[in-house]
Structure 1
């Protein structure tokens, strides 16, 4: 096994990511402000072997409250995936998360790509919606909520300003963003090909720039 890391998963949802990391040997702290999701996570954790349960700590809290619960530099990795679009105080949230990182620690963000908001409605034939998307940084997600998208340039500047400059970034869902939310994934070799395609496109110009989501990795100086 490689290095065992101290991981903070902010907005962990039902805990899927946190449990996978704990199974891999890492120590994981999950923050979730939604009580129902936290209950689901606790139920899933209770089914795990004792050795995994002891590596996971779950806390009902908002991402802006990290300074209340932890000392600066407490974690090697901080994950904030699918959360930033709901945050009213984006820069304050990111600054607080960066302070939780030990020197050399990784801040991992998964955000909606604000530079490609016209693609989804445009490819669906919603011409009016696509035109409107050029002049806004908000969109209606698949839960029916109006949330914010973020642009690579703005986040790059923010990360530099909070001493966790951008180290690498990738596109996510280049070819599969148009799939229905309840669509069944392909099986076997076809799934392997699809994952290989998305992985390569997410690392390759110019495809990664038109992805629906962006994965940004900042490293604490």
Structure 2
């Protein structure tokens, strides 16, 4: 997914431009640190104290110049209006968050308000049109049949979560003034891999295959996750 995000950023902004990035639900800070290393100024919001601790530890190991470009805020992504003025960011990331939000539309609308005109909104969501794929490929036929009639599921952490559908999110983005610009599938071939699976020797070929499938119909439509990029009008 990093390749997809980099492609969208490089396609919208001149090479070398230092962007203001908001990472909502930054987790352990992997994406935030990667963007800070590329020269961007990143603000991360996270409410899980354990994740914040991990992110701060990782940040502390970076050179001073990178540490100065990252700000971490303890908080909820639904409260961005409390912390920032509208139009404060060039790029807003919300990856792996909407599946834990019962009503996502207000959150997404709030994130769009944080964007400057022409800014990029990047969402990573569970694909509601492909919920039957994981149990089906794992041979759990009862769960596969049940998945056709719901947008909820239990994730690998044992938490109840919800999925989004491409058509609905496309309408949401259009309605909040950040219409869909591009979308990709993520984890087309690798969704059933074990969490503790080692890195295969041909990982670069694997990544190339995933990247190609994530851009190509019909493969991207059955990906476990969808990466949607909207652009603020």
- TM-score clears 0.5: yes
Distance 1:77 1:54 in 2: 18
Most deviating of 111-120 and 34-43: 34-43
- Aligned residue runs from structure 1 range 198-217, under 5 A: 198-217=210-229
Stretches (4+) displaced over 6 A:
none
Q: Which residue of 2 aligns with 1:162?
A: 176
SS at match of 2:39: coil
Deviation at 1:194, TM superposition (A): 0.5
Structure 1 alignment gaps of length 5 or more: none
Distance 1:212 1:199 in 2: 13
Deviation at 1:88, TM superposition (A): 2.1
Q: Which residue of 2 aligns with 1:90?
A: 104
SS at match of 2:168: helix
Distance 2:219 2:17 in 1: 33
Distance 1:116 1:142 in 2: 16
- Aligned residue runs from structure 1 range 1-221, under 5 A: 2-187=16-201, 190-221=202-233
Distance 1:193 1:45 in 2: 30
Deviation at 1:119, TM superposition (A): 0.8
Distance 1:193 1:46 in 2: 33
* Number of equivalences: 219
Distance 1:137 1:160 in 2: 22
Structure 2 alignment gaps of length 5 or more: 1-14
C-alpha distance after superposition, 1:19-61 (max 9, x if no partner): 1110110000000011111111111111111100110000001
SS at match of 1:203: coil
TM-score by length of 2: 0.93
